[in-house]
Structure 1
Amino acid sequence: MEPPLERVKISQTAKEQLIKLKRITKIDQWNILCRWALCRSLAEPTPPSPVPIKLDSNVEMNWRVFGGEISDMLLIALKQRCYNDGFGTTKEVLAEQLTLHLHRGIGYLAGDQKIKKIEDLIELTVN
């Protein structure tokens, strides 16, 4: 499947939030935390606010690194969510929504006071 973006980039604020998450979860790879963040945001019933995001950090990864073995599943989930939200599924819409969902999810995970270790991330999936 063709990815919405060749390179996934994040803001400096999101980078700092990911550094916090890396420290508390002991997950040392950006891409794994970013997958968790995307899924966390996609699970929310409302779309993310369409705020401008300055992609100003030095953290970026290509789509295959970002998605890993589940890159096609992540893309399908994103497309379905965009369709359900009435945005359509053009490459531009998917790219914008990916960025918005990713950043919202990073913020949610970093701000969740219950996340103190990797097991707490797993606990999010069973509740």
Structure 2
Amino acid sequence: MAKISYEESRRKQDERNAAEENNKKLAEIKRQIRKLEYYSNRPTNCEERYFADLKFEYDENCDKLFHQFKDKRITYQMYCDHITILTKKLEDSKAKAPELLSKTKKAISRPPQLNKSHLAAILEMERKMLKAQFTN
């Protein structure tokens, strides 16, 4: 009788473990779908994209925290503390946005500068590649 109850409890535990694993896989699939949807509809404007990326990252982190809380890997107090920290980081990033965006726009507006040594190295590499191509 004891052996039957042990086997029964073992079978139930295996079923619970399988269900938990399936839930984790489902959550990961949903996360991937959300990410694909976000990147397919991502704004093209630099400013809008910056804020959208911040919001998406915030939502992703909140979702991960929620699943950790749901799986009882963190307490409710830890969950609340982490959400508060994430919210503060989001607000700080939004406050710094004008400065960062102005730097980004300046960097985009001027092309990268190559000095003579970079150009010489590129030409030397191309020469070696052409030489190797014709000698083979």
- The TM-score range, normalised by the shorter chain, is under 0.3
Higher relative CO (Cα under 8 Å, sequence separation at least 6) belongs to 1
Looking at secondary structure, tell me which structure has more helix per residue.
2
TM-score normalised to structure 1 length: 0.26
Looking at secondary structure, tell me which structure has more strand per residue.
1
Structure exhibiting the larger radius of gyration computed from Cα positions: 2
TM-score normalised to structure 2 length: 0.25
